[in-house]
Amino acid sequence: MNLEKVVFAFFILLALTLNFGFFLGDIDVPHHHSVYELFAAIVVSLIATILKFGDRTHLGALLLATSLVADLQLILAAVVWAFAEHITGTGMTPAVMAVIVSLSGGALLANITSVLLLVAETMTVRS
């Protein structure tokens, strides 16, 4: 068993599951979506992105692209959250939460694509 591949797959799957956990719930209900889970999803997604930098294959480029998309979507969601809470002074409204959850939904789609690519690559590898 290759420990590097285990760690790589672990972080890709953890990024997906944390993102899914944040995304799940009513889109406009703030108490259904934890800021701490969004933060954890961002951190793990960034770690997964860093782990993808060494691969020089075409599939590696696709995996990196999916991670960069997920990172961008999650970071934008955090920026919208911070802007709503600390700059506008209006606090978290259902409309703002819907934007944040929608952005995390885009990241979720990118993470699902990443996992599907990982599974496809795993199925083509012969022992």
| Number of domains observed in the structure of the chain | 1
In 3D, which of 27, 25, 12 has the Cα closest to residue 114?
12
| Four-CA torsion 118, 121, 126, 127, nearest 10 degrees | -20
Q: Which domain holds residue 73?
A: 3-124
Residue range 77-98, pLDDT digits in tens:
999 999 999 999 888 999 999 9
Residue range 20-64, pLDDT digits in tens:
999 999 999 999 999 999 999 999 999 999 999 888 889 999 999
Tokens of 14: 């953890």
Find how far residue 78's CA is from the centre of its chain. Answer: 12
87, exposed or middle or buried, with CB in 10 Å at 0-12, 13-18, 19+?
exposed
